[in-house]
Structure 1
């Protein structure tokens, strides 16, 4: 999602190029920090499986309805 955000920033029209560059630099720094952090075994397993298998629990709302899948 950070990569998508970084690609989206240049399309913004309400901020200056300098502001865009600043936002992109910060987002890239955050992305690098996340990537450089050691990952747990669980994280690595989920990364291998990807979106093929649900790895999270469905949360039900207070009225008993299921959340969005």
Structure 2
């Protein structure tokens, strides 16, 4: 039972890390497009997406610390 929980938490950690990375990449693309177009609100949105992705990745690092 404990081994299965550890495997599930490992898979969850990888999935959450991937989602955070995807959000950060889309934020970087959004930031680049907004800088190119001189779009002030878009720049803020791109930075917020990058930071949000980084926070999700950091939260995924703590998933491995969850135990039964």
Asked whether the two chains share a fold, i.e. TM above 0.5, the reply is no
Q: Output the TM-score relative to the length of structure 2.
A: 0.40
- Structure with the greater alpha carbon radius of gyration: 1
For CA contacts below 8 A with separation 6 or more, give which structure has more relative contact order.
2
Q: Output the TM-score relative to the length of structure 1.
A: 0.39
